Amino acid sequence: MSYNIISHFAAKLTVCADGGANYVFELLDDDRNKYIPDVICGDLDSVNSNAQNYYKDKGTIIVHKSDEDENDFLKCLRLVLQTEPYRNIQCDYIIALGAVHDRFDQSMASIHALYVAAKISRIQIILLSVKSYICLLTPGQHKVLVNTEMEGNWCSLLPIGNKCNNLRTTGLKWNLPGIEFAFGSLISTSNAFDGSNEVTITTDDNVIWSMEINYTLN
Ligand SMILES: Cc1ncc(C[n+]2csc(CCOP(=O)(O)OP(=O)(O)O)c2C)c(N)n1
Ligand SMILES: O=c1ccn([C@@H]2O[C@H](COP(=O)(O)O)[C@@H](O)[C@H]2O)c(=O)[nH]1
């Protein structure tokens, strides 16, 4: 079963990272009037004048951040998490569409952004690619409910950027027993659910959880 992700989630704030606005503009076509981003943020070297002028006329705030040390996605996250008035918005999740896509470097920059954001805020940030749900699990106990009918067949745990010495799971076909978990020794890809309604993950260090997810955009 597939869910329409745009109508499924009612976002309190929508932010486009620079050229992401072009994508939304093109994708929504006749429906674009229904989904006006609140903010377009970034170095603004990619958003085209059609999209920028259209959204500006509809009240979208344009935030130009010209520095070349962080990508536009991280600039957007900082805007939302660190600046007034956005940081006062109460929300459960930040969902990012398109931050893991065709460019490997930008996809890794999006993963990096999760680590940076975790130092600023406890809000869970979820990256959605065409088929994947990706989030950072920080040290502690986590529960992933896997009975929403949006899950697909595979899931994975990746210790990107650090090693976990004590990562334990339940609910997986190949559970992790708390042995060294690191690139070069052991990682967990192509894992699967064992049929329980939830997966539990207890970890002593950061680890990236991802799983297949089925949804549509329009
Ligand atoms: C160590 C280091 N490597 C690389 C860069 C260059 N750099 C990092 S983020 C960034 C901005 C990227 O802009 P964005 O519009 O998000 O991505 P683009 O599509 O231009 O690649 C740049 C230029 C840097 N500042 N420092
Ligand atoms: O393949 C990609 C391309 C882009 N991103 C993210 O979008 C912003 C804006 O990209 P521009 O091409 O500069 O408009 C970029 O900073 C990335 O955060 C991406 O994730 N993957």
Question: pLDDT tens for residues 141-160?
Answer: 999 999 888 889 999 999 99
Instruction: Kindly indicate the confidence band of residue 2, based on its pLDDT and cuts at 50, 70 and 90.
Output: very low
49-53 mean pLDDT: 97
- Mean per-residue pLDDT of the chain: 93
Beta bridge partners of 64: 42
> What DSSP assignment string belongs to 97-133?
ESSSSS-HHHHHHHHHHHHHHHHH---EEEEE-SSEE
- Both 119 and 64 in one domain: the answer is yes
Query: Which of 63, 71, 78 has most ligand 1 atoms within 8 Å of CB, for mutation?
Result: 71
HSE-CB of 96 using CA atoms within 13 angstroms: 26
- What's the token pair of residue 111? 């993963």
pLDDT reported for residue 29: 83
Read off the pLDDT of residues 154-200 as tens digits, 9 standing for 90 and up.
999 999 999 999 999 999 999 999 999 999 999 999 999 999 999 99
Give the percent of the chain with pLDDT over 90: 84
Query: Which of 44, 106, 114 has most ligand 2 atoms within 8 Å of CB, for mutation?
Result: 106
> 17 φ, ψ to 5°?
-85, 105
Residues having CB closer than 6 A to ligand 1 are 18, 42-43, 45, 68-72
Domain that includes residue 81, residue range: 3-130
Distance CA(204)–CA(126), nearest Å, equals: 21
C-beta separation of 191 from 157 below 8 A:
yes
**Position 90 pLDDT exceeds 70:** yes
Give the percent of the chain with pLDDT over 70: 95
Burial of 127 (0-12, 13-18, 19+ CB in 10 A): buried
pLDDT reported for residue 217: 67
pLDDT reported for residue 140: 98
- Both 94 and 34 in one domain: the answer is yes
Distance CA(88)–CA(91), nearest Å, equals: 9
Please say which residue of 81, 102, 130 terminates a domain: 130
pLDDT reported for residue 1: 39
Cis peptide before 85 (omega within 30 of 0): yes
**Position 38 pLDDT exceeds 80:** yes
Residues having CB closer than 6 A to ligand 2 are 17-20, 42, 46, 71-73, 99, 101-103, 106, 110
Q: For the whole model, what pTM was predicted?
A: 0.92
Beta bridge partners of 143: 200
Residue 218, domain member (yes or no): no
* Among candidate residues 143, 136, 153, the one with its CA nearest the CA of residue 194: 153
C-beta separation of 167 from 202 below 8 A:
yes
9-27 mean pLDDT: 92
- Both 123 and 142 in one domain: the answer is no
pLDDT reported for residue 10: 77
Please say which residue of 109, 130, 151 terminates a domain: 130
- Both 145 and 75 in one domain: the answer is no
> What DSSP assignment string belongs to 30-85?
GGGGG---SEEEE--SSS-HHHHHHHHHTTPEEEE---SSS-HHHHHHHHHHHSTT
**Position 36 pLDDT exceeds 70:** yes
